[in-house]
Amino acid sequence: MMISEFAKATGLPIDTIRFYITKGLLKPERGKKGGSNPYQMFTRDDVTAARMIRLQQALGYSLGEILSLNEEYRAGEHSSKRTLEVLKSQIARLEERKAALDAALSFLRGKVKWIEDGKPNDAPRLEDYQC
């Protein structure tokens, strides 16, 4: 499929797709059409790769980490041991983010309650929460 079809299939803007290609995250094949500047042709595997990139970003991976992991995978270096290592590392990072979000929510809820109660004493202080 061409880039416009790929954009529809993935829900990604064309500029994002081009950015991913430039960064090496997506590697479409060069088609026979397009003369001296052949069209980039995408496959269903590229659609899956784009969805994985978005998922990895949502999980907190940087684009550099995603590229590194994808290159490992393409090179056949995706052993169960390595997969577990990567997943456990990401779980730890997400748990840290969750703790920070929980603390921020506690602060905000405390602030709302303080306001609703008519500001009876000192306002909740952010530094009292482990964000």
Condensed to tens digits (0 to 9), the pLDDT of residues 67-84 reads 988 888 777 766 788 888
* Nearest-angstrom CA–CA distance, 109 and 91: 26
Residues 9 and 69 in one domain: yes
Alpha-carbon 32 to chain mean position: 33
Residues 64 and 85 in one domain: no
Which of 74, 97, 112 is the C-terminal boundary of a domain?
74
Query: Is pLDDT at 31 greater than 70 in this prediction?
Result: yes
What pLDDT shows up at residue 93?
A: 86
| Overall number of domains in the chain | 2
Q: Compute the average pLDDT of residues 120-126.
A: 88
Which of 74, 101, 118 is the C-terminal boundary of a domain?
74
Residue 114 domain boundaries = 80-128
Which of 32, 35, 39 shows the shortest CA–CA distance to 3? 39
* Nearest-angstrom CA–CA distance, 55 and 17: 15
Residues 112 and 51 in one domain: no
Question: Across-strand partners of 29?
Answer: 41
Q: Compute the average pLDDT of residues 91-112.
A: 92
Which residue reads 């730890």 in tokens? Answer: 92
Residues 65 and 38 in one domain: yes
